[in-house]
Amino acid sequence: MSALRDALSDLPDAVFADLLESETSYLLVLDLPGVTAETAELRVEKGRLVVEARRDKRLPAEFDYVREERPLFLDAEVPLPPDAVADEAEASMERGTLEIRLPKREAASERTIPITTGDDDA
C-alpha cells in the first residue's frame, strides 16, 4: 500500500486526498471542488485507478480573468493496492467529494495441505 500512499502525495495541488483502510476495504476520498458525477470519469487501467474530471467554472459576463489558477481539468492516477478488488469497487460523489470504496480480496482460508510420497501408489 505504500505505493498508493506515495502516489497520493504526488497528486496535483488542486486535488486533496485521504486514504482509509479497514479489515475488508480501502476508502479513497478525493476533494474535487466544482466537479460533479456527470463531469468525472473513474476507471481502472493496468492496475491503476484513473480519475479524470472537469470543473464547472462559470464566469459572470461582466467579469474578465485577472488571474486564473484553478485548473479546469483535474486528472489523477494512483496505483491500486495489490489486494484490492477493482471489479467490485464502488464510487459516490457528493458536493465535490468523491469516495471510492475498494474491497480487499479475501485471504485464503487456513488449511493443512497433505504431503504424499511415492509410496502412496502401492
501408489: which residue's cell?
121
485521504: which residue's cell?
18
Q: What is the pLDDT of residue 122?
A: 54
What CATH architecture is 2-103? Sandwich (2.60)
Please enumerate in sequence order all residues whose Cβ is within 8 A of that of 104, keeping only pairs 6 or more positions apart, or say none: 23, 24, 25, 26, 81, 83, 84, 85
Q: What is the pLDDT of residue 7?
A: 65
Domain boundaries, the chain: 2-103
pLDDT along the chain (122 residues), means of 10: 66 74 92 89 91 84 81 83 89 92 80 77 56
Question: Looking at the whole model, is its pTM more than 0.75?
Answer: no
| Grid coordinates given for 18 | 485521504
Q: What is the pLDDT of residue 50?
A: 92
Q: What is the pLDDT of residue 80?
A: 87
